[in-house]
Structure 1
Amino acid sequence: MAGHFRSSNVPAPKAFPEKPQFSDFMKPCRFEGEAMNLEIIGTIPRELDGTFYRVMPDPQFPPFIENDPWFNGDGNISAFRFHNGNVHFKQRYVRTEKFIREREANRALIGKYRNKYTDLVEFKIRSTANTNISYYPPKKTLLAMKEDSPPYMMDPTTLETLGLCDFDGQLPCTTFTAHPKTDPDSGEIIAFGYEAKGDGTPDVCYYSIDSDGTFNQVVWLVSPVAAMIHDFAVTKNWVLFPIIPLTSDVERLKAGGEHWQWDPNMPLYIGVLPRRGAQGSDVKWFRSPNAFPGHTTNAYETPDGNIVFDLPLTDKNVFFWWPDADGIAPDPREIHSQYVRFEFNPRAESLDLPSPKVILQQDMEFPRIDDRILSKRHTHSFFDLMDPSLGTDFQAILPVLGGGHPLYNALGHLDHLTGILEVYFPGRTHMVQEPIFVPRSDKADEGDGFLIVLVNNYHTMSSELHVIDTQDFTAAKAIVRLNLRLRAGLHGNWVDAKDLA
């Protein structure tokens, strides 16, 4: 592969750039190790017996791309083991091909985000494995995922990297989503890959995997444009693919440009495909006005066959560091995602979606549900909120904030039946990352359990875990002090101890 920008004469930086995404709380951590019996304020509920895994982009070497985005760091996995009221911590990098070769070279070798033509060497698999981490029951391993490549397998106890996962040779395409879904009744894993035939291709490959690891179907389809499909949703009978209006172009990549470019004229497409027995030609690409769809909450079907689909939505480019063709990007302080609900007939002849209903006007993202009701009607959801009226001391936080990542100062719990919003505010010098939900027990009612969230404490410049009981949402049941700073992460999941046994 001849990369026009590849040169062995590119100097190796010894310090991280003086950019917001590498400064203050966002300074790369570059830490591997463990700490037993973390300090706990309050009481860890005895029902919590399992491990909270999360991943953050955390570059082991300074990039030679000066304004490298936060998203381009190496995947560093944190594991918080809850047992008998105690919490133990372990952290380890995913040993990707990139990580190993850069450690051997003692410098960064990868170039721009998802642009292989700017690398110093050729990689077989260019993954940073830095977007999500989840459990894969057929192999009893973790999957460290980034949506431009196959996942890496890791030992859930030691966090040792076990190698690339091609699902015993069954993976049909070059990419695997960072947001696979698991059917709570059958254990079936529903997944897909976009840019499935390589960078800049409009091909999407949808597949589902039986609980024993066997691929039970593979469907190839073509999207209206080569663009980002970060998250998706499933119902009992349908799969939904919301396309973010960030487009990819191979010629731009070869010229050393960015992988993504915002297109303000592109509609929001939502592809709808029958979940089982479909062909690629069966997909319907519904349209809505230009907007950025956030992480999906859930989707389900009404008795009359309509699809209900909840998610955050904004009319601005959330990934503002990738502007449009004219270099125009929004001020991040003006980006505001409302909580919306699309309801539509998947068999309708018109491909124009009805306007979504706003179910919450507050700025929110990273929604989670009780995964036991995935693809069914949900009545509770949990998410990050930004509400400046809560009393956050922005004057104290801003000088040490760092940048390049979203900011949320509270957690929200929405009862979708009553419309009642509960808010957990962690403190005046705190920001929250993505929460996870853990049921109180297998037989607990939907939404009855605990939220666990990693919290940035800008007063102590360290990280904390806050544990919130959903029956008393406005106060923390326990605060676990890590006494270590973990920069902003992306996603994570809970794995119950009985599933690891």
Structure 2
Amino acid sequence: MAGHFRSLPTQADQRFPSYPQFSGFMKPCRFEGEVQNLEIEGTIPQSVNGTFYRVMPDPQLVPFVDNDPWFNGDGNVSAFRIQAGKVHFKQRYVRTEKFVREREAQRALAGRYRNKYTDAVEFKVRTTANTNVLVFNGTLLACKEDAPPYAMDPETLETIGLYDFDGQLPSVTFTAHPKVDPVTKELVCFGYEAKGDGTHDICYFSVKQDGKFSETVWLISPVVAMIHDFAVTENWVIFPLIPQTCDVERMKQGGEHWQWDPNIPFYLGVLPRRNAKGSDVKWFRAPNAFPGHVFNAFEKGGKLHIDLPVSDKNVFFWWPDAEGNAPDPHEITAYLFRFTIDPHSSETDLPPPEMMLREDCEFPRVDDRWLMKEHTHCFFNLMDKTLGTDWPAIGPLMGGGFAPYNAIGHLNVKTRHFEKYFPGNKHFVQEPIFIPRSEDGEEGDGFVMALVNNYGAMSSELHIIDTQDFQKPQAIVYLPMRLRAGLHGNWVDGQDLAFANP
């Protein structure tokens, strides 16, 4: 790789640029530390006992790349420990190789998003570990889909190091959306571009509860495209390909890793979950579209059903097509669809999906106890322009990033009953999580929790909503600071953490 690095740029200006993704609420937070006993309005039920982990892209240093996308920042992990009605907050950066070397150099060294050819130095592993955090086998894993995860201590948030499952990890990449089987407790995973940038290789693998690999399957993608999320059922895995494609020659010329391709189908790869070979994968096709995060998937009547939001436009508008075409971000919407797939069919063109909800939605969650089987309830971020958001007041403060969401939705997919939680006219919500009221309670009965941006106070809040009274908050937890928009997070029950760390 010698010879492709750019010369280290001069960096006299130590201010973040005035682009939207570095302004207003999106101005980098860069906080590490803890705050005990956060202010609480309302009452947090005693049954809510555990830790909410989330991660945000949060650059520690001013980038040298012009107009750097917002999620190219360093992974900064937050932990909200909730016990006995009290909330304690802790936050620490993931000490990736990139983070450590840039802190030593006191300047940015990594270049464009997922383009090593624009770096000022050579990295062994250049990930930012900034997309998702989850606990598996007693370890907190900070994930980004371009590299193995980083292991962290779930209590202290100290970085342990790059995590390769005791040398078992076969892929150079690891999904930011592994799935934990609620029955077998397996961690079901994959990596795309699994043999390096621009490769067609996908590696699917499954890890048993004791940390030992039980399945490893190599397969070939029809195009080198982004596979951000995937779906798992009892017997199948499904890979939705986003038509953002990679070309290494473009990267070598200093271009972007991703480029939207409006001329290829929306592919859904279907592979048997167990005892499969790479040749067993079947690639089904639908018209060009942008698939969002998976709600859930399940088997019924010999067919696979996968629910996910789908947009007819390029949601990642900052990576336009080859001609530079990109949609107006204000015109991008994603509606909830259900695709039905016969995995044994010789016909690879999928029938039109069923629209489950004509509301602009994303960042979906189900009751994780119903993951991989037929579900009834789902929760998600919602953009509803009729709810009374004070756009003139908050517009200059919002900053850039994903399209904002001003409410949380709850849909019963069987009755189609739909309800909304609106946190206020100067508030936007981040990804929700679901906490069951009790371990053996009914599906969807419990609490929804989400970090909320309060643009009036320019600070962050944690809202907790009882699913039995979805219109108002059960409790609001106030932070004395502003946390930048994050991507994903997960709830870990206090009993599970105690079991993992006796």
Same fold (TM over 0.5): yes
Work out the CA distance in 2 between the residues paired with 1:78 and 1:471: 28
Given that 1:12 and 1:64 are in contact with CA atoms closer than 8 Å, whether structure 2 keeps it comes out as: no
2:474 alignment partner, SS class: strand
Residue by residue over 1:402-452, the C-alpha shift from the partner in whole angstroms, topping out at 9 and shown as x without a partner, is 112220000000011110101000000000000000111111111011111
Which residue of 213, 216, 224 maps to 2:214? 216
Other structure's SS at 2:345 match: coil
Deviations 1:348-383 (A, max 9, x none): 110001101111011000010001111100000000
CA shift, 1:3, in A, is 4.7
Q: Is 1:102 aligned with 2:105?
A: no
What do residues 163-198 of structure 1 show as CA deviations (whole Å, max 9, x unaligned)? 110000000010000000011011011000000000
C-alpha RMSD of matched pairs (Å):
0.8
Which amino acid is 1:88 matched to? H
Residue in 2 that maps onto 1:423: 420
Query: Could you tell me how far apart the structure 2 residues matched to 1:352 and 1:59 are?
Result: 43
State the partner residue of 2:238. 240
**Deviations for 1:318-368, whole angstroms, at most 9, x for unmatched residues?**
000000000010000000000100112111110001101111011000010
2:363 maps to 366
Partner of 1:77: 77
Tell me how far apart the structure 2 counterparts of residues 436 and 213 of structure 1 sit (CA, whole Å): 25
Structure 2: which amino acid aligns with 1:456? N
Q: Name the counterpart of 2:196.
A: 198
Q: Write out per-residue CA displacement over residues 86-105 of structure 1, whole angstroms, 9 at most, x where no aligned residue.
A: 00000000000000000000
> Aligned pair 1:153/2:164, yes or no?
no
CA contact (8 A) 2:171 2:194 kept: yes
- 1: CA distance, partners of 2:256 / 2:418: 40
Unaligned runs of 5+ in 2: none
Distance in 1, matches of 2:403 and 2:192, equals 24
Which residue of structure 2 aligns with residue 255 of structure 1? 253
CA contact (8 A) 2:5 2:122 kept: no
Deviation at 1:9, TM superposition (A): 4.2
Q: Does 1:447 align with 2:436?
A: no
Normalized against structure 1, the TM-score is what?
A: 0.99
In 1, the alpha carbon distance for the partners of 2:90 and 2:30 equals 13
Equivalent residues of 1:301, 1:377 under 8 A apart: yes
CA distance in 1: counterparts of 2:195 and 2:430, whole angstroms: 33
TM alignment of 1:481-492, pairs within 5 A: 481-492=478-489
Q: CA deviation at 1:66?
A: 1.7
The answer as to 2:347 corresponding to 1:350 is: yes
Query: Residue 389 of structure 1 aligns to a residue in which SS?
Result: coil
Residue 224 of structure 2 aligns with which residue?
226
Task: Give 3-state SS (helix, strand or coil) of 1:191's partner.
Answer: strand
Matched residues in 2 for 1:182 and 1:406: separation? 28
> Once the 2 structures are TM-superposed, how far is the Cα of residue 64 of structure 1 from its aligned partner?
0.3
1:62-461, aligned counterparts within 5 Å? 62-137=62-137, 140-302=138-300, 304-461=301-458
Query: What's the CA shift for 1:2?
Result: 2.9
Q: Count residues with an aligned counterpart.
A: 498
- Structure 1 contact 98–110 (Cα < 8 Å) conserved: yes
* Higher mean C-alpha deviation, range 339-348 or range 426-435: 339-348
Aligned partner of residue 277 in structure 1, secondary structure: coil
Q: For residues 264-315 of structure 1, what are the alpha-carbon distances to aligned partners after superposition, in whole Å with 9 as ceiling and x for unaligned?
A: 111000000000010000000000000000000010011x211111000011
Counterpart of 1:497? 494
> Could you tell me which amino acid in structure 2 is paired with residue 343 of structure 1?
T
**Does the 8 Å contact 2:244/2:261 carry over to 1?**
yes
C-alpha displacement at 1:12, in angstroms?
Answer: 5.8
Measured in 1, the distance between the counterparts of 2:17 and 2:392 equals: 24
Distance change >3 Å, CA 227–CA 3, structure 1 → 2 = farther
Verify the 8 A CA contact 1:80 1:87 in the aligned structure 2.
yes
Check conservation: 1:29, 1:485, Cα contact below 8 A.
Answer: yes
Q: How much does 1:141 deviate? A: 1.1
Aligned equivalents of 2:158, 2:42: Cα separation in 1 = 32
For residues 459 and 343 of structure 2, what CA distance do their matches in structure 1 show?
47
Q: Which residue of 2 aligns with 1:21?
A: 21
How far has the Cα of 1:483 moved from its partner? 1.9
AA aligned to 1:78 is: S
Q: How many Å separate the matches in 2 of 1:449 and 1:310?
A: 22
Contact 1:79 1:89 in 2 (8 A): yes
Which consecutive unaligned segments of at least 5 residues does structure 1 have? Answer: none
Q: TM-score, normalised by structure 2?
A: 0.98
2-structure distance, mates of 1:457, 1:396: 12
Distance (whole Å) between structure 1 residues aligned to residue 31 and residue 97 of structure 2: 19
CA distance in 1, matches of 2:180, 2:488: 16
- Residue 444 of structure 2 aligns to a residue whose secondary structure is coil
- How far apart in 2 are the matches of 1:186 and 1:210? 8
SS at match of 1:21: helix
Q: What is the CA–CA distance in structure 1 between the aligned matches of 2:240 and 2:476, rounded to whole Å?
A: 36
Contact persistence 2:330–2:403 (CA under 8 A) = no
Native 8 Å contact 1:54 1:79 kept in 2: yes
Find the aligned partners of 2:12 and 2:420 in 1 and give their Cα distance.
46
Measure how far apart 1:211 and its partner are: 0.5
Aligned CA distance change for structure 1 residues 180 and 368 (closer, same or farther; 3 Å)? same
Deviation at 1:5? 4.9
Partners of 1:164 and 1:10 lie apart in 2 by 31
* Structure 1 contact 13–64 (Cα < 8 Å) conserved: no
Q: Matches of 2:47 and 2:399 in 1, distance apart?
A: 36
SS of structure 2 residue aligned to 1:390: coil
Identity %: 68
